[in-house]
Structure 1
Amino acid sequence: MAAKTDRTAAWAFWIVITAIIVGQAAGTIYLPSLAALARDLDTDPRMAQLTLSICLIGNGAGQLFYGPLADRAGRRPALLIGLGLLSVGSAGAMVAGDVTTLMIFRFVQGLGAAAGPVVGRGVLRDAVPPDRLVLAMSSLGLALALAPGSAPVIGGLIENLLSWRWSFALLLASALAVALLVWRRLPETLGDADRAQARLTGVIEGYRVFIRMPVFWGYGLMLTFTFGGLFIFVSTAPVLLIDTLGIRADAYGFWSLLPSSGFLIGTRVVRRFGRRLGGRRLIVAGTVILLLAGIAMTATALAAALSAWGLMLPMALFGIGLGMQVPNIMTRAVQLEPSLAGTASSLLGLFQLGGSAIIATTAALLPHDDAAALGLALTACALASLACLRLIPRA
Structure 2
Amino acid sequence: MAHPTPHPRTISPSGTLTGRVRVPGDKSISHRSLMFSALAVGTSTVTGLLEGEDVLATAAALRQMGASIARSDDAVWTIDGVGVGGLLQPASALDMGNSGTSTRLLMGLIASHPITATFIGDASLSKRPMGRVITPLTQMGADITASPGGRLPLMLRGLCPAVPIRYTLPVASAQVKSAVLLAGLNTPGITSVIEPVATRDHSERMLRGFGATVTVEAAAQGKIISITGEAELKPQHIVVPGDPSSAAFLVVAATIVPESDVVVENVGLNPTRAGLFTALRLMGASIEELDRREVGGEPVADLRVRHAALTGIEVPPDLAPSMIDEYPALFVAAAFATGRTIARGAEELRVKESDRIAAMAAALSAIGARVEEVEDGLLIDGTGGDPLPGDATIATHLDHRIAMSLSVAALNCRADVTLDDASPVATSYPAFFDQIAHLQGDAA
TM bin (shorter chain): under 0.3
Determine which structure has greater relative contact order: mean sequence separation of CA pairs < 8 Å that are 6+ residues apart, divided by chain length.
1
Q: TM (normalized to structure 2)?
A: 0.23
Q: TM (normalized to structure 1)?
A: 0.25
